[in-house]
Amino acid sequence: MQVLSLNDVQGSWSLESFDIEKLDKSVGPWGQNMHGLIIFAPSGHMSVSINRALGAGTTEAEKIFDSILFYSGTYRIDGNEIRNSVQNASNPARIGREMIRHAVLEGDVLTLSSPVESFGRAILRWRRIK
């Protein structure tokens, strides 16, 4: 098990890929034309924002909402996990929750994956911004 420190993750990271591994183990991208930024501040605060090409909603507002993923709050390191305590989010159901991400750091690439949920799990690759 890789043990991370605060110094390992602090800074800004640019999204390289965001895949969804479904329950049947098939893997595909969360969307098209994705871009994102995650920031882990020395103060213990974090923020992540990701956009993709407009979603398939029936109204313009639904399309925009479906193309945005955002949350922010505080974080802590627990072994090889980053535990984000969500204070703000594009999905109000996430506010007040702890978002756990398994983390693997390889050089300047940080891979974060969610626990398995009803849809499967999310796997995101981030590159450190220098």
Domains in the chain, ordered, with CATH? Answer: 6-128 (2.40.128.280)
Cβ proximity of 49 and 27 under 8 Å: no
Tens-place pLDDT, residues 36-47: 999 999 999 999
Q: Is the pLDDT of residue 48 over 80?
A: yes
pLDDT of residue 79: 93
Could you tell me which residues are beta bridge partners of residue 117?
Answer: 120
**pTM for the model:** 0.89
Tens-place pLDDT, residues 60-85: 777 776 788 999 999 999 999 999 99
